[in-house]
Amino acid sequence: MKIGGVISQSSNMVMAICHYFEYVFESKKDNCDLFVVDVSSLFFSSENLKALEYQKETWKVIENCKNTVLLMFVGAIESLKKEEFLRDMLAMPNVASISFLDLSQALILADEVEKREKNNFKEYLLFLKVKSNDSIFSGLKHGIENSFGEDLKERIRKARATGYFSDSISNEEVESYLRSWRPEAGGPFEGVSLDGIYIDAYGTLFNENWEIRQSVLSTIRGLSVKLKKEIFIISDSEKSKLIPLLNKNGIKNFLISKYALRGAKLEIVVDDYPQEKFMAEYSITPIKFINVKDLKLPL
């Protein structure tokens, strides 16, 4: 069996996987559009600044619905699924996960993936690409403004790793770009009216030190019960850092990026920005806007 390709930062891993498929499955299909991705190569860190390049390469392979892509991992898959970009990849109908120890089952799994329905493939792929591109810069921008997560140097290094900035651009110019960044296109929910209560995280549900404001949380939950409306948390802090804070405070509501909502109409919005600034910043139209200062808190 000839494998379509292996994506890994380790040349030894690439060679080993290719040889494995060549010899173990030599009596099977003569050719298969099968790609194996070493998941460890996709995680960004100071030691792996090329992770975003590997992510882009993986998405390029996924874009072809005729390809079957197996995300190969070592360890517990549940811990990996906490990463949003991996959840997005695994949501595609031509992608599946497989343990390194279970590679002998790769052909069986690949056959199952090939049989999946791929209706609306292009539309869903477009949605995820928009979401992925915006999430990188929106997260970096939000983190710089609110001192959340990595320090400024790490965020600038992360921004450079996207390949967007040439060496001639200084770190100060990168920082300025991130602070002033705005999405260029409409969001995936543009023109859509969404009901529910949408509450901001930093400065609204949490104070400036990222401590939960229990009075705000209680009031919003009471409003939710009274109006029979679902609560959504809206923020552009990095989800991998914000979700533990939400879990710690027993908040299990769905978390969504403000930039993903640009162009949408939201039924009720609660934020610490004035309404005009909120609308200008995020291009979101609230049907009813409540500044957190005007929220009627319990005595």
Q: What is the CATH number of domain 193-294?
A: 3.40.50.1000
**Residue whose token pair is 């040889």:** 19
Residue-level pLDDT at 1: 42
Give the rounded distance of the alpha carbon of 241 from its chain centre. Answer: 12
Phi and psi at residue 270, to the nearest 5°:
-120, 120
Residue-level pLDDT at 18: 86
pLDDT band at 224 (very low <50, low <70, confident <90, very high): very high
- DSSP states along 95-131: EEEEEGGGGGGHHHHHHHHHTS--TTHHHHHHHHHHH
Residue-level pLDDT at 275: 95
Sign of the alpha-carbon torsion through 39, 45, 49, 55: positive
Which of 122 and 96 is assigned the larger pLDDT? Answer: 96
**Residue 99: partners with Cβ closer than 8 Å, 6 or more residues away:** 72, 73, 74, 77
* Tens-digit pLDDT profile for residues 16-36: 888 888 777 654 444 558 899
Percentage of the chain modeled with pLDDT above 70? 79
Residue-level pLDDT at 286: 94
Angle (nearest 5°) at CA 265 between 253 and 226: 50
Whether residue 131 is predicted with pLDDT greater than 70 in this model: the reply is no
Whether residue 13 is predicted with pLDDT greater than 70 in this model: the reply is yes
Residue-level pLDDT at 37: 93
C-alpha 286/C-alpha 264 separation (Å) is: 8
pLDDT band at 157 (very low <50, low <70, confident <90, very high): confident
- DSSP states along 135-179: HHHHHHHHHHHHT-SS-HHHHHHHHHTTT-S-TTS-HHHHHHHHH
Provide the whole-model pTM. 0.52
Whether residue 299 is predicted with pLDDT greater than 50 in this model: the reply is no
Residue-level pLDDT at 126: 66
What is the Cβ-side half-sphere exposure of residue 177, based on CA atoms within 13 angstroms?
Answer: 13
pLDDT band at 155 (very low <50, low <70, confident <90, very high): confident
Q: Which CATH class is domain 5-119?
A: alpha beta
* Tens-digit pLDDT profile for residues 164-220: 677 888 888 888 877 777 665 566 677 888 999 999 999 999 998 899 999 999 999
Residue-level pLDDT at 48: 59
Q: Delimit the domains of the chain by residue range.
A: 5-119, 125-180, 193-294
Q: Compute how many other C-beta atoms are within 10 angstroms of the C-beta atom of residue 264.
A: 22
Give the rounded distance of the alpha carbon of 89 from its chain centre. Answer: 10
What is the Cβ-side half-sphere exposure of residue 99, based on CA atoms within 13 angstroms?
Answer: 8
Q: What is the pLDDT of the chain when averaged over all its residues?
A: 82
